[in-house]
Amino acid sequence: MLGVLFVAAMTAVSAQPGKKVFISVDMEGISGIAGDDQLSAAGAEYNRSRRLMADDANAAIRGARAGGATEIVVNDSHGSMRNLRLEDLEPGATLISHSFKRHGMMEGLDETFDAVIFIGYHAKAGTPSGLFAHTGSGVVADVRVNGRSVGEGGLNTLMAHWYGVPVVLVTGDDVAVAQVAEGTPGMRTVVTKRAINQRAAALRPLDVTRAEIEAAAREAVARAARGTPSRTAPYRVEVQLRSSLIPEVAEILPGMQRPAADTIAFSADTMPQAYALVRFLYRYVNPD
Ligand SMILES: [Zn+2]
């Protein structure tokens, strides 16, 4: 009887339908990608890599569905944010494409979702061994929220937790996934490649990484449970830049402080507000 109950409980965990899953897809950590010319539309290998990006996203979509997702929103989270082609995606997923997006890599997320998945992520700025390591863009040296250094994965996790939605899976190079999952118990990881340094990687076989992504997404979504929102306002944010010119310009805005020549700091009442401002500072403040 106990055995029967146990089996019934396990079945319920793996087949509970009706879940809503948000998948944020970056490009640097996608299976098979290791070169700059794969990352933007001007690059010779770009069309090849956007297909690779869709294939990793599709593995996550199939896995999420098998884990009980009935509604899946995919947010194109890289560069121009129009890398993924809808026709390359598994049918039935909604694609958030192009920018301007106030909430960038997390655009479209709200408290109605049950799980978040990060696909193709990379290490934060300043990580010596992470492939394509950066935060937001090349102008950022570091981002700190309430004193803690975060990369894109860390910042996006704070956004998910603001809405009470768990981040259940991250994929990318070995350095990136360890960094993003650190401090978030229960976040699964799939290593798509081993970072040799910021430019070279040992690419794992595509069939292997896709199978692992699909299996991990299935298990993670099956077990995902929406939590209570984690809101530790005010959020004190410091954005340290590689040049002091951006802080020189940004300091003009009300509410901005400049604790160091290369750093802009501010406080925000909500994480979405903090997120939008970080994005604004590195992307839309141009001293030229
Ligand atoms: Zn990217």
The Cα 281–Cα 147 span in angstroms is: 18
- Tens-digit pLDDT profile for residues 159-180: 999 999 999 999 999 999 999 9
- What is residue 238's predicted lDDT score, i.e. its pLDDT? 98
- Tens-digit pLDDT profile for residues 188-247: 999 999 999 999 999 999 999 999 999 999 999 999 999 999 999 999 999 999 999 999
Q: Is 60 exceeded by the pLDDT of residue 14?
A: no
**What residue ranges in the chain does DSSP mark as E strands?**
19-25, 69-76, 94-96, 115-121, 140-145, 148-150, 167-173, 188-195, 201-203, 235-241, 257-260, 263-268
Tokens found for residue 138: 């090349």
Q: Is 50 exceeded by the pLDDT of residue 278?
A: yes
Measure 154 CA to ligand 1 centroid, in angstroms.
14
Measure 30 CA to ligand 1 centroid, in angstroms.
10
With vertex at residue 75, the alpha carbon angle to CA 275 and CA 205, rounded to the nearest 5 degrees, is: 115
- What is residue 288's predicted lDDT score, i.e. its pLDDT? 84
Measure 23 CA to ligand 1 centroid, in angstroms.
14
Q: Show Cβ contacts of residue 284 under 8 Å, excluding neighbours closer than 6 positions.
A: none
CB atoms inside a 10 Å sphere around CB 189: 18
Measure 31 CA to ligand 1 centroid, in angstroms.
13
- What is residue 9's predicted lDDT score, i.e. its pLDDT? 39
Q: Is 50 exceeded by the pLDDT of residue 5?
A: no
Domains of the chain: which residue ranges? 16-140+151-223, 235-284
Distances (CA, A) of 132 to 20, 119, 174, 223: 31, 15, 12, 32
Dihedral over alpha carbons 32, 134, 98, 284 (to 10 degrees): -160
Q: What is the DSSP letter of 78?
A: S
pLDDT band at 151 (very low <50, low <70, confident <90, very high): very high
pLDDT band at 37 (very low <50, low <70, confident <90, very high): very high
CB atoms inside a 10 Å sphere around CB 184: 16
- What is residue 1's predicted lDDT score, i.e. its pLDDT? 38
190 strand-pairing partners: 171
Average pLDDT over residues 19-30: 98
Three-state DSSP class for 200?
coil
CA 31 to chain centre: 15
pLDDT band at 13 (very low <50, low <70, confident <90, very high): low
Q: Which fold has domain 16-140+151-223?
A: Rossmann fold (3.40.50)
119 strand-pairing partners: 25
Measure 26 CA to ligand 1 centroid, in angstroms.
5
- Active site positions, annotated: 134
